[in-house]
Chains A and B, each alone.
Chain A
């Protein structure tokens, strides 16, 4: 397979500049970025607040258009529309409170005109996989925050995406739930064989889950370092006790400390 074919998604020369509004100058949020996401990998993006992590995800998803450069998914350009085969899970609770868990999970696939029997099979399968089978008739308000996020993941899974984009999906959850949700996502990744791009501000989460981690600079966001973790495909949250885990988070923090201070408008010297 040629190198170009191995790239599941790619960005070349991508920048994103938000136009200025009354009294405010334009904001150069991202780039230029050249980057390839390998088919089947688990890639995490970390970086200081406001560095453009979510913008990067939305560019790959087709939710935003780049100011310059091109984004491609499975060899085809992405241009302002979410391509088939991409699923997105957002940080905010995006479950629909007026629908049951079952109907939430079935929402996307029903839009695609899939036969009712196939919808039922896929939804039952996704709910069982996410541990929600017994809650199929419940409404999101009856579930915890972690379970509601699992409903959103189930809704994405039902679409059978090849690329799953996760925009800080555990940001609103407590630390223990986040670790357990991390295990769920690893299980999902192994089972579906999909490529996963995870945006996170948690260095430990990135180090635990990923094959590769991209560390971004303060705005305008660029990749300063891409770290290969070398974890086996069969892994779970127990790797947090391994020495290599500390090395990875240490290297990430070494990269990000100065950038995080920069994004807060504080100089290194002021901290010392």
Chain B
């Protein structure tokens, strides 16, 4: 492991140890926060019991669907908007202020249209994540060196071949940033939407445990979500670093 990796690990371990000590020593009321070791010991039997398997599958399925839709449509819309400079000029202020609007305010409309199905949650995840992908695509395409367009013409590549064989891979590092953001935004918004919109899923389970004053179950589920989110993001980050290193654009 690199020195930076060790520092990263030490920070996490120290934070967990500090929380553990603070809870055990009574600096934090155990009725409010339980020690991390108890969260873990509550999570293991919960997972082993299979009680939350359906919720895990549902939440991950909805997050995956929202993230995939965001990436695919975000990339396609980014390509289209990049090819239409006037449309882009008109839309730029909306993109710049998009995240000032809480997408959740539309949840009553979503329920009115789609009912209590997973679709309102997928759409909220999608609506939160898609603009990050559009912006990343525009950003990436802006940074494709002009000389590559000339190289494409020297090799007599058509518009589609130029996009797929040169522009897409040239813009890939920025697109990957968009993918990482889309996955994170989809994850956060889906969990939050499950709190208020859903009858199932990990977000709903956490809300129910909270309402029942079942701290052990609530913190076990929060820990599970933290682990899932960390694993997914770490995997994407590792893939990104590995790819970027090969292209000589990493600083890590």
Contacts and interface: CB of A to CB of B under 8 A. Distances in A.
Interface of A: 58, 61, 63, 81-82, 86-88, 90, 92-94, 96-98, 107-108, 111, 139-142
A58 to B, nearest CB: 8
B148 A108 contact: no
Contacts, number: 55
Nearest to A142: B248
Contacts of A93: 147
B154 interface: yes
Contacts of A82: 153-154, 156
Interface in B165-183: 166, 169-170, 172
B150 A90 contact: yes
Interface of B: 145-148, 150-151, 153-157, 161, 166, 169-170, 172, 246-249
Shortest Cβ-Cβ A-B pairs, 5 listed: A141-B248, A92-B147, A97-B247, A98-B169, A94-B147
A92 B145 contact: yes
Contacts of B155: 107-108, 111
B144 to A, nearest CB: 11
A258 B227 CA distance: 70
Contact of B247 (A61, A107, A111, A141): A141
B154 A139 contact: no
A111 B161 CA distance: 10
Contacts of B148: 94, 96
The majority secondary structure among interface residues of chain B is helix
A92 B145 CA distance: 9
A88 B149 CA distance: 13
A87 B150 CA distance: 12
A108 B156 CA distance: 9
Which of B146, B154, B156 gathers the greatest number of chain A CB atoms within 10 Å? B154
Given A61-B154, A92-B147, 8 more contacts: A63-B153, A81-B156, A90-B151, A94-B147, A94-B148, A96-B170, A98-B247, A141-B249
B9 to A, nearest CB: 28
A142 B249 CA distance: 11
Contact of B169 (A92, A96, A140, A141): A96
29 contacts: A63-B150, A81-B156, A82-B154, A86-B154, A87-B154, A88-B150, A88-B154, A90-B150, A90-B151, A92-B145, A92-B146, A93-B147, A94-B145, A94-B150, A96-B148, A96-B166, A96-B169, A97-B170, A97-B248, A98-B169, A98-B170, A98-B172, A98-B246, A98-B247, A108-B154, A108-B155, A111-B155, A139-B246, A142-B248
A108 B249 CA distance: 25
A90 B157 CA distance: 17
Nearest to A156: B154
